[in-house]
Structure formats: structure tokens, C-alpha cells
Amino acid sequence: MSKETEERLRRLADEYTEAVNMAIAEDREDLAEQIAAEYPDAALRILTDAP
């Protein structure tokens, strides 16, 4: 895996973690679950777009 792909995955994880945490802080467990469920597909897109 390239360094660029690793960095993109790290940024994605950070963004999703922040979004989930914000949803939980707003007492929006439904939104947190939705965001968490979308993460694997987003990560897969990065992996399949990798050079």
C-alpha cells in the first residue's frame, strides 16, 4: 500500500471518528450509527482508487 493511500485512509478515519463523536455528543446515536455504517464503503473506495 502506498504512503498516499495510507495517509488518505488515516484522514478518512480521523474525519469519521470526529463525525461520530460529534453525533454522539449531540445525542444523535442514529446519526452516529449511520456514519459508522458508511465508513467501510468509503475506505473501500480509497483502496480501489489506489495506484
HEC assignment per residue over the chain: CCHHHHHHHHHHHHHHHHHHHHHHHCCCHHHHHHHHHHHHHHHHHHHHHCC
Tens digit of each residue's pLDDT (9 = 90 or more) over 12-40: 999 999 999 999 999 999 999 999 999 99
Q: What is the model's pTM? A: 0.88
Q: What is the pLDDT of residue 12?
A: 98
> Residue 50 pLDDT more than 70?
no
Q: What is the pLDDT of residue 11?
A: 98
Confidence of residue 48 (pLDDT cuts 50, 70, 90): very high
Count the domains in the chain: 1
Give residue 45's domain range: 3-49
